[in-house]
Structure 1
Amino acid sequence: MILQATVTKYIPTNAYIYADNETKHGFLIDPGAQAGKLLELIREKGLTIEAILLTHGHFDHIGAVSELQETLKIPVYMGWARRGGSMPRIPSGISRPRPTSPSY
């Protein structure tokens, strides 16, 4: 299942949840704001979020990361190439991605 939630602090942006329909385990993508709203949706759907995935580091995509990471006790990942440009370093509270090799 893919769920979309529009969250707003400074500007509206979309956060997504991608979860397996059977196991209800999944990922939260780009939680830009309103951690409480996202947590309510996660609980309402009975989901287990394994990690937060960030497409890039703009403020409207990472605004709720610290609160969600602390509450859910999960890692946060962002691709190495997406760190550059307007965000020269990863903000505190966000885990640095760990290099992994595909297991296929």
Structure 2
Amino acid sequence: MLLAAVIAIGLLAIFTICIGIMLVVIARGGDERRKMILDKTAATTLKYIVIIQVILSVIDLFQGKNILSINDTNTFSSLTITAFLFVIGLLYYNQKFKALS
């Protein structure tokens, strides 16, 4: 029981840090290279979030749920998934464009 609580608090901390990183990186200015990395990361994150939402909608459709109504998606979980994908993409594109420089 204690281990589960420690793991849950650790994941919450990691996701909160990812959200913070995403917000700081988006708000900060920079040169053209940094803006290109940020644009690529944002576009990739959006692509994967849309794919996840389409898959969840298809699953809801097969389960017989009404997909036209507002779904019961938790906004914090959506935000954490988005932030996590954004940070992963940011790390990837930073390494990719450092190698090209």
**Which of structures 1 and 2 has the larger relative contact order (alpha carbons within 8 angstroms, sep 6+)?**
2
TM-score (norm 1): 0.19
- Which structure: greater helix fraction? 2
TM-score (norm 2): 0.20
| Structure having the higher Rg | 2
- Which structure: greater strand fraction? 1
